[in-house]
């Protein structure tokens, strides 16, 4: 077949086959992670290989790079064997794949020598030696170690830990391990009826991924325990789950093994696999159901969402059953996308960590991040389903986002709907709901805080009370998405005269011009007078919003935290809020920046109802000297802090609306 025994030659050939342009020496150095000298050496080896097969050598265009002619490329691709035929000697494995295969060999053989690695993987002795050093570090996490003698390397440590490594690889869907079992398809398939029998006896049904993983792992496990040396110690302790015990003993007996220690291990392994559906009457699930209920309540409270308890409690309990057994029996789970989940769904991950505390108390251990990632995705999926359903019903064009989903953004929605009645605006979403929303049919996102762009949808950041520039930006963005039409140009007198002359005879053009001009000016004056009246009326409402005891005038505050404490001191004294409400506002401001600024120098400080609010209340603080809020390179000078706390999403809106109107009129 057209495959060199030199791994680097194969890698280089693949690069030339996949490249549409000439490849330079620096590019080959970077792609292959080798020195310039090694590049020239490999090109020479590749040319020898091509010449042996009767193909033209690689062509060098001076100062431009190297390429293979089309005839050589066509011949290599036509053979199909170059890329598709299996290489049983593992010549083309990456470093990671090579190390995983060596660990597999160490667990399944008595000894693995440097010579064996050199031969199987076509690597130098130095590379093989480095691989063993890396493997030694990896095995420490599994309480395993390597020893070396004249015959080669041997793996030492508990049998359970060796099995855990193998099980973990299958649970991750490791293609190397599955390929090593490829010749045993028939024996793997023989496991399937036994797993189906477990489902029938217990009423618990595996997910598709878990079923595939168990089929492969148990096929390996059967071979493993045929050697008595690899069996766990027999015991007289009878497992409490008699249904699972009956199944495990039948499974082992069919494979000529009678051992209660192995039966217990088999039960624990099966239970640590993920179930798609669990029998409520089955052992273990009843204990977890009330814990799942507590977790959901905690998540709803901290996230400000309303996840349905009925179906979610059962589904979450089903998931936690497997988590419980993995943690209890030290069966490691590694989530392949852990870092991505932490980065992309940071808030979801944080809320999940808070919510699972009752489960951690139940298992008496902290839940590892990899397990948390699975639970976080569970919650994320529920939120996404609810928000997708809401979006589908509402068919919104524009999504509104703020940190908590209440308060200022509801007023913003009202303002947006007043200005653009033809546009469908969503209810206010908090950041968590935004992160997990499908964004179906959404064309624009208007947010009072800085959020990450998703699915290429434009995000427009505005103030809670949009200024002139904000409104211009909003209108421009709506026009760009085709959600509003371009307004007609302003009316002018000459244009009016042209229209009038089409339908009537004008006897005195100059006098008509004067009359039209006066009419337009009078209309504008009346509008300004009405606006002035509205402004004056708004000022009279300021005294009605805050009770006298909730208004404070202070010379200065030493820092932002102190200013917040001064602003909310009246609400603490009358027990409207708890101190943690102030802590939350400080945290939100540090995380999202000064998004609560509703006007220059004015901060509308608030958090969610569940952050320590006992009753709806407002406070007002005026600082003679401003306190400065630093966010990245921006510095905001704050002279007024309007504090408000609300027990729900509606009782504060009337007063909040009055505050917004006053601020708006003052600016205009």
Q: Which of the listed residues 256, 277, 298 is the one where a domain comes to its end?
A: 277
Contact between residue 652 and residue 616 where contact means Cβ atoms under 8 Å apart: yes
Q: Same domain for 562 and 643?
A: yes
| Cα gap 249→194, rounded to integer Å | 12
Q: Same domain for 437 and 368?
A: no
Would you tell me the crossing angle of helices 114-121 and 125-140 to the nearest 10 degrees? 110
154-210 confidence digits (pLDDT tens): 999 999 999 999 988 888 777 777 776 666 666 777 888 999 999 999 888 888 888
The vertex-553 CA angle with 552 and 558, nearest 5°, equals 100
Q: Same domain for 357 and 403?
A: no
Q: Same domain for 101 and 65?
A: no
Q: Same domain for 266 and 292?
A: no
Integer-rounded Cα radius of gyration of the chain: 35
Q: Same domain for 577 and 565?
A: yes
The pLDDT score that the predictor gives to residue 258 is 92
Residue at 491 is within a domain? no
CA distances in angstroms from 103 to 97, 114, 126, 166, 604, listed in the order given:
10, 13, 18, 9, 60
The pLDDT score that the predictor gives to residue 87 is 43
- Cα of 600 vs its chain's centroid, Å: 35
The pLDDT score that the predictor gives to residue 533 is 45
Backbone angles phi, psi at 402, to 5 degrees: -145, 180
- Name residues whose C-beta falls within 8 Å of residue 236's C-beta, 6 or more positions apart in sequence: 260
The pLDDT score that the predictor gives to residue 251 is 93
Number of domains within the chain: 6
| Structural domain boundaries, residue 291 | 285-387
pTM as predicted: 0.52
Residue at 476 is within a domain? yes
The pLDDT score that the predictor gives to residue 265 is 92
The pLDDT score that the predictor gives to residue 171 is 83
Residue at 462 is within a domain? yes
Q: Which of the listed residues 249, 277, 305 is the one where a domain comes to its end?
A: 277
- Cα of 22 vs its chain's centroid, Å: 39
Q: Burial of 298 by CB count in 10 Å (0-12 exposed, 13-18 middle, 19+ buried)?
A: middle
DSSP 632: T
Q: Same domain for 464 and 402?
A: yes
Residue at 113 is within a domain? yes
Residue at 2 is within a domain? no
Q: Same domain for 188 and 208?
A: yes
Backbone angles phi, psi at 339, to 5 degrees: -60, -40
CA distances in angstroms from 232 to 247, 304, 657, listed in the order given:
18, 49, 71
Q: Same domain for 71 and 100?
A: no
Q: Same domain for 561 and 645?
A: yes
Q: Same domain for 608 and 575?
A: yes
The vertex-336 CA angle with 332 and 338, nearest 5°, equals 90
| Cα gap 642→663, rounded to integer Å | 11
Give the CB-side neighbour count of residue 314, counting CA atoms within 13 A. Answer: 10
Residue at 214 is within a domain? yes
Residue at 371 is within a domain? yes
* Ordered strands of the 597-599 beta sheet: 551-554, 617-631, 634-645, 602-605, 597-599
353-371 confidence digits (pLDDT tens): 889 999 999 989 899 888 8
Residue at 505 is within a domain? no
Residue ranges in the chain whose pLDDT is less than 50: 1, 80-89, 405-406, 488-490, 524, 527-528, 530-540
Q: Which of the listed residues 84, 119, 140 is the one where a domain comes to its end?
A: 84
Maximum Cα–Cα distance across the chain: 119
The pLDDT score that the predictor gives to residue 144 is 94
Q: Same domain for 563 and 578?
A: yes
């Amino acid at each position: 077949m057209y495959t060199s025994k030199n791994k680097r030659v194969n890698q280089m050939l693949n690069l030339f086959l996949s490249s549409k342009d000439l490849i330079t020496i620096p590019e080959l150095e970077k792609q292959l992670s080798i020195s310039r000298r090694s590049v020239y050496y490999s090109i020479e080896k590749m040319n020898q290989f091509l010449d042996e097969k009767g193909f033209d050598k690689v062509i060098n265009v001076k100062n431009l790079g190297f390429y293979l002619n089309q005839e050589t490329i066509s011949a290599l691709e036509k053979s199909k064997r170059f890329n598709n035929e299996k290489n049983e000697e593992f010549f083309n494995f990456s470093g990671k794949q090579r190390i995983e295969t060596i660990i597999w060999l160490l667990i399944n053989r008595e000894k693995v020598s440097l010579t064996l690695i050199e031969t199987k993987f076509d690597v130098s002795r130095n590379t093989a030696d480095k691989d063993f050093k890396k493997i030694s570090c990896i095995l420490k996490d599994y309480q395993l170690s390597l020893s070396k003698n004249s015959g080669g390397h041997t793996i030492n440590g508990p049998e359970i830990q060796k099995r855990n490594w193998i099980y973990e690889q299958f649970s991750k869907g490791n293609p190397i391990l599955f390929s090593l079992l490829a010749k045993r398809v028939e024996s793997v398939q023989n496991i399937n009826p036994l797993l189906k029998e477990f489902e029938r006896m217990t009423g618990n049904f595996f997910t598709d991924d878990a079923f595939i993983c168990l089929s492969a792992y148990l096929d390996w496990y059967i071979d493993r325990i045929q050697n008595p040396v690899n069996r766990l110690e027999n015991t007289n302790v009878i497992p409490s789950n008699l249904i699972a015990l009956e199944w495990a003993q039948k499974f082992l007996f069919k494979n000529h093994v009678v051992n209660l220690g192995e039966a217990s291990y088999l039960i624990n392994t099966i239970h640590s696999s993920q179930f798609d559906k669990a029998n409520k009457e089955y052992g273990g699930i009843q204990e977890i159901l009330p814990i799942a209920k507590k977790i959901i309540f905690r998540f709803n409270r901290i996230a400000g969402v309303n996840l349905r308890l009925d179906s979610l409690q059962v589904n979450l309990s089903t998931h936690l059953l497997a988590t419980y057994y993995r943690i209890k029996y030290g069966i490691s789970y590694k989530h392949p996308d852990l870092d991505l989940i932490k980065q992309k769904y940071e808030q979801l991950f944080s809320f999940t960590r808070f919510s699972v505390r009752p489960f951690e108390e139940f298992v008496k251990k902290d839940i590892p991040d990899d397990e948390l990632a699975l639970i976080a995705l569970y919650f994320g999926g529920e939120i996404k389903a609810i928000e997708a359903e809401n979006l589908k019903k509402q068919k919104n064009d524009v999504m509104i986002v703020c940190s908590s989903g209440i308060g200022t953004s509801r007023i913003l929605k009202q303002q947006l709907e007043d200005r653009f009645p033809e546009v469908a605006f969503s209810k206010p979403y908090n950041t968590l709901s935004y992160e997990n929303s499908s964004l179906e049919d959404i064309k624009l996102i208007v947010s009072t805080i800085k959020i990450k762009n998703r699915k290429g949808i434009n995000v427009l950041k505005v103030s809670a009370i949009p200024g002139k520039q904000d409104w211009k930006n909003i209108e421009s963005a709506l026009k760009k998405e085709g959600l509003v039409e371009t307004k007609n140009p302003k009316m002018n007198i000459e244009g009016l005269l042209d229209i009038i002359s089409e339908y009537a005879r004008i006897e005195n053009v100059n006098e008509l011009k004067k009359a039209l001009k006066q009419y337009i000016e009078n209309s504008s004056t009346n509008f300004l007078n009405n606006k002035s009246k509205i402004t004056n009326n708004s000022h009279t409402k300021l005294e009605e919003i805050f009770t006298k005891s909730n208004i404070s005038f202070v010379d200065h505050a030493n820092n932002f935290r102190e200013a917040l404490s001064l602003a909310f001191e009246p609400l603490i004294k009358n027990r409207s809020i708890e101190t943690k409400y102030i802590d939350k506002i400080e945290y939100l401001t540090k995380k999202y920046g000064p998004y609560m600024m509703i006007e220059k120098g004015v901060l509308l400080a608030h958090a969610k109802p569940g952050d320590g609010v006992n009753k709806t209340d407002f406070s007002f603080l005026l600082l003679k000297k401003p306190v400065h809020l630093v966010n990245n390179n921006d510095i905001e000078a704050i002279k007024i802090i309007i504090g408000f706390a609300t027990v729900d999403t509606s009782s504060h809106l009337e007063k909040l609306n009055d505050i917004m109107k006053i601020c708006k009129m003052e600016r205009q």
